[in-house]
Amino acid sequence: MAIKSISEKEFSSYPMQKNPMANVLGEEVAWFEEKENNLIATIIKDKIDNDWAYVILVKYPNNEYRAEEVEASLETQEIAEKNAKRKINELIKAGEFREELYNDETITEDLQKNSLIITDINVEIKKYFKKYPEKLYELSSRKFEELVASILEDMGLNVELTKATRDGGTDIIAVMKNALTSMLIFVECKKYSPDFKVDVGIIREVTGVHALKQPEKSIIVTTSTFTKDAMKEAELARGKLELNDYENLREWLSNY
């Protein structure tokens, strides 16, 4: 379990999708890998604010690497590298938790104490997060999307997860039906740490997809919160965009 410094060329050899605006807004200055657990990271100098950030990417089943953790507005490169390495180690430790939690044969620690065998893993997962909502931060982005989709399904919606390779703007396609009509809903999920708020850029990305594909409503769900600018931007959508943060998630989970 060794985190190794690598060259830009070595980092770029990994298959990944990059935001075309990334090099305009920031400059990558350092790169790391943890081969055993398929984790890579880059340290970025923000060209606008002159502060630092890191991005950690994980390998998905299609062999492509996707951003899993991001932290910005750090004062120095040293702090960014230190935080990135710490987060990589946290992700490695959390990996065992995720594997056990989503294994149909698994009994969670609380259930084990009561000698109760899981018969419906989805229900038990949601009960677990109701009791320990802070554990949401240990989920991968994809597992978070699956959890949100399952909650929406319990609310009576027909849901479909989009492919992990999609360009952004829609993680879940949901349809709400009744006897008279049906409503198409796009859902974007952002599994962020508490101190990394969803910013106005995400709002504009989602509203751009909304304008292009024209569902009845778009929803953003995050484990964090939204910046003031993001909330102001969302208000311009005039009821077409709904924001749901960590507290909303806790409210949803309270039903289990």
Q: Tell me the pLDDT tens digit for each residue of 144-192.
A: 898 999 999 888 888 988 876 544 568 899 988 766 667 899 999 999 9
**DSSP codes of every residue in 61-87:** TTS-EEEEEEEEEES-HHHHHHHHHHH
Where is average pLDDT lowest: 37-51, 133-147, 169-183, 223-237? 169-183
Answer whether residue 225 shows pLDDT above 80: yes
The pLDDT value recorded for residue 167 is 47
Question: Average pLDDT, stretch 46-72?
Answer: 82
**Is residue 190 within 8 Å of residue 220, measured between CB atoms?**
yes
Which region among 9-13, 27-31, 44-48, 85-89 has the lowest average model confidence (pLDDT)? 44-48
Taking each helix axis from N to C end, the angle separating 200-213 and 228-235, rounded to the nearest 10 degrees, works out to 20
Chain segment 8-35, per-residue pLDDT in tens: 999 999 998 665 445 556 789 999 999 9
**Domain residue limits, the chain:** 4-96, 140-253
pLDDT over 90 (residue 224): yes
The pLDDT assigned to 49 comes to 77
Per DSSP, 134 falls in state: G
pLDDT band at 115 (very low <50, low <70, confident <90, very high): very low
| Pair 192, 222: CB distance under 8 Å | yes
Query: Tell me, what's the pLDDT at 163?
Result: 72
What is the structure's pLDDT at 101?
44
Share of the chain above pLDDT 70, in %: 80
Q: Does residue 208 carry a pLDDT above 90?
A: no
92 vs 157, higher pLDDT: 157
Paired sense of beta strands 241-244 and 217-222, if any: parallel
Per CATH, which fold does 140-253 belong to? Trna Endonuclease; Chain: A, domain 1 (3.40.1350)
Give the phi and the psi of residue 177 in degrees, each rounded to 5. -120, 145
DSSP letter for 162, please: P
Residue 96 has a pLDDT of 45
What is the pLDDT at residue 181? 66
